[in-house]
């Protein structure tokens, strides 16, 4: 995407040059940049071209048998195992953390020859009130605790309360904070206000990494999605994330393509590396592979690891386990054969 009227091209674009891959492999945290409207103001995204591009993702590249199992193992390592329910309890969070520590049954791990590999999910994601139980349950595992904050999911509480919620979650031990942006700033084109808001949130996060949730289903156009992504990264977001999972439309491949192109454009323009997290509606192993293919083709191998790519999901792990069991045994199992996820 470049030029005054940039569009998403229909053909596959090289993932990155060797210099960009090298930057990603040794990346430091995104510290943000000064506000630079020249990087996004003139951008225009072609919807039909975007849809044609993503329609080829799973038709030109497929993975089967042992290769599919390997891709699914990698998907497990990139899952933010999530519970964001009104009836969450410390006990539920502890069970989720136990699953994050041991995401596959021991017999499947042995059958895949992974006994020596420390297989675990990318993180556990909870509400601020549940951060302390999650931190305790994950002690010694190395699995980070992510917390939503800033008036999730609507983000319409006063700014001082949104910042206080970030600080509370960090004080409780959260390693990562998933913030929600004010959609009104995007819908009214007030990009300076969006930049200042996200920058202030980034400062409140301190050492905790920040994922900026754009709620793309409420941003109306793909051009808005691109611009919001760029502004969030300028303000210091470590990840850009599609959705809260609670909008009418959550993660889709067209939206994700636009966002990963913005990640690449931001890297090329500033040298700063950002991650990407699709969330909401990703429920099947087939979905997971489609997004992994997108990351490999558009950004390259560094974005196939949890430090730069995550799935926000609660039910995805269960279907991945079923597919791996089918690979091992040749039979599909019922969902209740696998632990809570």
Catalytic residues: 178, 241, 277
The phi, psi pair for 312, rounded to 5°, reads -90, 110
The angle that helices 316-329 and 65-77 make with each other, rounded to 10 degrees, is 150
Which H or E element spans position 253? helix 253-270
Contact 213, 232 (CB under 8 A): no
Alpha carbon of residue 252 to chain centroid: 12
Contact 177, 169 (CB under 8 A): yes
What residues contact 340, with CB distance under 8 A and at least 6 apart?
Answer: 95, 96, 99
Contact 233, 266 (CB under 8 A): yes
Which H or E element spans position 311? strand 311-313
**Other CB atoms closer than 10 Å to residue 289's CB: what's the count?**
22
**Closest CA relative to residue 214, chosen from 238, 172, 193, 186:** 186
What residues contact 22, with CB distance under 8 A and at least 6 apart?
Answer: none
- What Å distances lie between residue 284 and 118, 137, 322, CA to CA? 23, 27, 10
Collapse the DSSP code of 145 into the 3-class scheme (helix H, G, I; strand E, B; otherwise coil) and give the result. strand
**Closest CA relative to residue 54, chosen from 255, 250, 300:** 255
């Amino acid at each position: 995407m470049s030029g005054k009227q940039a569009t998403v091209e229909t053909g596959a674009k090289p993932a990155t040059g060797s210099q960009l891959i090298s930057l990603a492999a040794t990346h430091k945290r995104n510290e943000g940049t000064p506000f630079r409207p020249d990087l996004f103001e003139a951008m225009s995204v072609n919807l039909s071209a975007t849809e044609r591009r993503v329609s080829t993702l799973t038709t030109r590249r497929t993975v089967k048998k042992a290769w599919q199992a390997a891709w699914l193992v990698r998907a497990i390592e990139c899952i933010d195992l999530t519970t964001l329910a009104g009836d969450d309890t410390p006990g539920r969070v502890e069970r989720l953390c136990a699953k994050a520590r041991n995401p596959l049954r021991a017999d499947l791990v042995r059958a895949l020859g992974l006994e020596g590999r420390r297989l675990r999910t990318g993180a556990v994601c909870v509400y601020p009130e549940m951060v302390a139980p999650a931190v305790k349950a994950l002690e010694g595992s190395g699995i980070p605790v992510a917390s939503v904050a800033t008036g999730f999911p609507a983000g319409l509480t006063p700014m001082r309360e949104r910042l206080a919620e970030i600080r509370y979650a960090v004080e409780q031990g959260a390693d990562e904070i998933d913030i929600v942006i004010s959609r009104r700033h995007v819908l009214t084109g007030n990009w300076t206000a969006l930049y200042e808001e996200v920058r202030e949130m980034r400062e409140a996060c301190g050492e905790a990494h920040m994922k900026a949730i754009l709620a793309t289903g409420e941003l109306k156009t793909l051009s808005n999605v691109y611009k919001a992504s760029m502004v969030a990264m300028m303000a210091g977001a470590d990840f850009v994330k599609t959705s809260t999972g609670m909008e009418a439309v959550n993660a889709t491949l067209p939206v994700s393509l636009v966002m990963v192109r913005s990640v690449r454009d931001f890297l090329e323009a500033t040298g700063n590396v950002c991650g990407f997290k699709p969330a909401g509606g990703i429920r099947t192993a087939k979905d997971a592979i489609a997004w992994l293919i997108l990351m490999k083709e558009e950004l390259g191998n560094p974005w196939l690891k949890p430090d730069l790519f995550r799935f926000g999901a609660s039910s995805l792990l269960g279907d991945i386990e079923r597919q791996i069991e089918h690979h091992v045994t040749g039979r599909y199992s019922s969902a209740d054969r696998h632990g809570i996820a």
